[in-house]
Homo-oligomer: A and B are copies of this chain.
Amino acid sequence: MISLTEENYLKALFNLANNAGEVNVNELSKQLDIKMPTVTSMMKKLAEKKLVHYESYKPLRLTEKGKKEAALVIRKHRLTEMFLVDKMGFGWEEVHDIAEQVEHVRSAVFFDKLDELLGFPKIDPHGAPIPDKNGKFAWIAYDKLSDCHAGETVKVSAVIHTSSEFLKFLNNREIRLGTKIKIKSVESFDGSMIVSYDNRPADTLTHTVCERLLVEKTK
């Protein structure tokens, strides 16, 4: 049995590990806003349960079992977010905090029903993939808008760092998943882009914004 608290640690570990596969105690501590000694002791507990590999002073790594359990929590989170947006009419900027709680509901039928009512969605409202019931992800390789070039037209496919503030900013600019953005020019000194989309007047997106938008190139 994995407690609510343990589920949150596993999810945070998984999300931080994305590239290297390794996470520092310090990083995890900051991510969860929990002090390092608490994290150390929880890591020992999760190691007992064979969910993480733990050795003193070494970076943390999820075991295969840990990765699977983490993926299943992420599945519950993302199905919840999708349901809140698609079926309940919430904005994509409103759903994270609610999903952070609902993801801990213990009921297989509940999440199966969400999945079914949503038509077995593959991505969540922020474009992130929803793992299947075995915890397998269908990773999709998107480009950061900030890595694209003047003259290209791209489709917004996902957002990273999905803080409510950033999502509200995108709402103001009327940028959503699916928006086709034409890159007019790129300022080489600060990486900001002058873009147009949806017949709006040309607009500037800062490098910070462009780094957080994942896109697909359209030919």
Residue positions of A touching B, CB distance < 8 A? 87-90, 94, 97-98, 101-102, 104-107, 109-110, 113, 117
Contacts and interface: CB of A to CB of B under 8 A. Distances in A.
A113 B101 contact: no
Given A88-B117, A117-B88, A101 B105 contact: yes
Contacts of A106: 101
Contact of A90 (B87, B101, B113): B113
A82 to B, nearest CB: 14
A4 to B, nearest CB: 10
A99 B30 CA distance: 33
A121 B2 CA distance: 36
5 contacts: A87-B87, A88-B117, A97-B107, A98-B107, A98-B109
A105 B98 contact: yes
Nearest to A4: B4
A193 B153 CA distance: 74
A89 B113 CA distance: 9
Contacts of A113: 88-90
Contacts of A117: 88-89
A75 to B, nearest CB: 17
A112 to B, nearest CB: 11
A113 to B, nearest CB: 6
Contacts of A109: 90, 94, 98
4 tightest CB-CB pairs across the interface, nearest first? A101-B105, A98-B107, A98-B110, A88-B113
Contacts of A105: 98, 101-102
Nearest to A107: B98
A89 B109 CA distance: 11
Contacts of A98: 105, 107, 109-110
A107 B94 CA distance: 10
A106 to B, nearest CB: 7
Contacts of A88: 113, 117
Most chain B CB atoms below 10 A, which of A87, A107, A117: A107
Which of A89, A101, A104, A117 has the most chain B CB within a 10 Å cutoff? A101
